[in-house]
Amino acid sequence: MNFDPAVSAQQALHQAVASEEFGDLEAEVIEAEETFSSDHGEEARYAYEILQRLGASLPQARHFQEFLIYITWQQVTAETLPRYFQKGLTLCDGFLLRFGNDIVGTQTYQQILDIRESFQGGLGLEDEDAMPEYDEDAFQGGD
């Protein structure tokens, strides 16, 4: 990745606030984000889970969904667990399905593709496009 997910998360959160994506949930989102950003361990993990639950209730909040992807990478760096890599991959896929056509060619689009690739790598998955083609006519050992 050629960007800092923590910086990108803050930018996406500011855009979400400016776009009024949260409605009545804004104070709760801001409080959870402050806890996530300033604490470590169990308190940060709990705040992360709150933010993810709020995100599930706001699937069309584009900037907030982008923010959730970036903080999932931050969570991966704090706790390198497969569930966070999987969560990040799921978030990226959902984001690209909902918003991808609207943002193709933008910096955000490229960052989501890059971070998605990192989540895949953490799970030991390779991009299907990067897989070498199977050549059934290739010589087998001893031929």
pLDDT in tens, 12-26: 999 999 999 999 999
Residue 1: pLDDT band by 50, 70, 90 thresholds? confident
Q: Which residues of 81-111 are buried (b: 16+ CB within 10 A; e: fewer)?
A: eeebbebbbebbeebbeebeeebeeeebbeb
Q: Indicate the helix (H) or strand (E) that contains 60.
A: none
Residue 93 has pLDDT above 70, yes or no: yes
Which residues have C-beta within 8 Å of that of residue 46, sequence separation ≥ 6? 35
pLDDT of residue 128: 53
pLDDT of residue 40: 86
pLDDT of residue 39: 85
* 137 token code pair: 């006519």
Residue 85 has pLDDT above 90, yes or no: yes
Q: What is the pTM (predicted TM-score) of this model?
A: 0.87
Domain ranges of the chain: 5-122
pLDDT (mean) for 114-137 = 71
